[in-house]
Homo-oligomer: A and B are copies of this chain.
């Protein structure tokens, strides 16, 4: 099985999916699949596939009401990306130190 972070990275790798997520974040209310599809120049089925992928990555929640499915962005999924990034924070200092050493050498 695929890891969570891998699913998320795969999900946001596609610009259309990023835009779907974006639209859902901006929307004040949850949107049905056809409502979302209406915003794109792609068939409803195409959009459905993207939505399922996003959902699978935990980036949006889906609530069925009658025949409709309402989607809403799950912002907390972004924390997984933040965590992934956080690991590299500790190397940032070192990188700056290397730069400082370089500048020191130049001025001596």
Grouping DSSP codes into helix (H, G, I), strand (E, B) and loop, the A interface class, with mixed when no group exceeds half, is helix
Among the listed B13, B25, B91, which residue makes an inter-chain contact with A10, where contact means beta carbons less than 8 Å apart?
A: B13
What is the minimal beta-carbon distance from A26 to any residue of chain B, in angstroms? 8
Complex Cα spacing A82 to B12, Å: 14
- The residue that A15 contacts in the complex, of B6, B25, B81, B92, with Cβ under 8 A, is B6
CB neighbors of B among A1-26 (8 A)? 6, 9-10, 12-13, 15, 18, 25
Residue of B with least CB distance to A9: B13
Q: Which residue of B lies closest to A25 (CB)?
A: B91
Q: 17 new A-B pairs (CB below 8 Å) besides A6-B15, A9-B12, A78-B85?
A: A9-B9, A9-B13, A9-B18, A10-B13, A12-B13, A13-B13, A25-B88, A25-B91, A75-B88, A75-B91, A75-B92, A75-B95, A78-B88, A81-B81, A81-B85, A82-B85, A85-B85
